Amino acid sequence: MPLASFPVPAGFPSPAADDLEDTVDPIKWVVRHEHATFWWRVSGDSLEAEGILDGDLIAVDRAGRRRSGRVVLALIDGEITVKKLAKRGGLWFLDPRARSDAYEPIPVTETTEIWGVVAGVVRRLPIE
C-alpha cells in the first residue's frame, strides 16, 4: 500500500504521486517478531481509554519487553485478560483503562502469567 511522505492530522493526503514516500504493509509494520506474535480479538471495554475497543484485533508479541505502562495479555486463575501493566509501591498490577469505574486493578501474583505485550491494534470501521 502506498504511504504518504508526511503525517496527516485529520485530513486526507493529496493523491499526487510526488506525495508518496514508499509502500507499507500494515501487518508487517505492527508485527516485529513474526514467530512470537499471535492475534486475539478483544471482548469488552476495559481498555477504551487506551484506544483498544470491543471487537478490535490485537497483535500480542511474546518477545516484547514487559514494562510498566505497556498493555499485556495475561492469564489469571485460568482466565485470559488484557490490561495495562503498572507498578505501584513495589507491587505489580494489571490496570483497566476503562472510561467507567466498572473495573478494578488486578494484583499480579506468583501464579499470574504474562503471555505477551500488545504490539498493535487493528480495527475495521464501517464504510458502507
Per annotation, catalytic residue among 14, 28, 46, 87:
46
87 given a catalytic annotation: no
Active site includes 46? yes
C-alpha span between 32 and 96 (Å, rounded) = 25
Three-state SS at 19: helix
Distance, in Å, from the CA atom of 109 to the CA atom of 93, rounded to the nearest integer, reads 9
Catalytic residue among 5, 43, 83, 87: 83
Which residue numbers are catalytic?
46, 83
